[in-house]
């Protein structure tokens, strides 16, 4: 009888621990403010980091000023952390990365997160740069849609 109670007790403990683990996983998933993917068409400079062209996953765990956006390469195990701070209201209805393209290089200018009603500006475009880009002399402005997951 004592052996049966011990086995019964251990089974209950295992069920409780499994339930706690599932709740912690669900809480962690809910705490993620934004998770999405995007593809860079060229090597991009983003807030001091340089990312090669390719597919990426972006994770924004919170919208606090001292938080970072985690960027993971889809292939391999390379990760980079980009600072994030809200600099204004969203500038469109899509989650997108705004960048300028000059030759085979890109510069990330802003990240618009419509779902979170915020925009993060990394490198504003000056009036001179905008005029040059609009004339088509030095490159173009490109908006990459970040697909939310």
Write down the pLDDT at residue 109. 92
CA nearest to 60, candidates 115, 136, 137, 106: 115
| CB atoms inside a 10 Å sphere around CB 96 | 22
pLDDT digit string, tens, across residues 86-100: 676 677 788 999 999
pTM (2 decimals)?
A: 0.69
CA 117, CA 86: separation in Å to the nearest integer?
A: 9
State the virtual CA torsion across 114, 116, 119, 149 in degrees, nearest 10: -70
CA 34, CA 31: separation in Å to the nearest integer?
A: 9
pLDDT digit string, tens, across residues 16-62: 344 444 434 333 434 558 899 999 999 999 998 999 999 999 998 87
Write down the pLDDT at residue 102. 84
Average pLDDT of the chain, as a whole number = 77
């Amino acid at each position: 009888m004592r052996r049966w109670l011990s086995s019964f007790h251990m089974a209950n403990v295992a069920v409780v621990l499994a339930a706690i683990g599932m709740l912690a996983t669900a809480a962690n998933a809910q705490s993620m403010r934004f998770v999405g993917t995007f593809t860079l068409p060229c090597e991009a400079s983003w807030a001091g980091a340089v990312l090669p062209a390719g597919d990426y996953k972006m994770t924004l765990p919170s919208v606090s000023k001292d938080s970072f956006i985690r960027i993971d390469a889809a292939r391999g195990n390379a990760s980079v952390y980009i600072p994030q701070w809200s600099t204004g209201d969203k500038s469109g209805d899509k989650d997108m990365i705004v960048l300028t393209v000059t030759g085979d290089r890109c510069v990330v200018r802003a990240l618009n997160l419509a779902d979170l009603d915020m925009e993060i500006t990394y490198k504003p475009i000056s009036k001179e740069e905008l005029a040059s880009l609009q004339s088509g002399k030095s490159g173009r402005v490109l908006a990459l849609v970040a697909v939310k997951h």
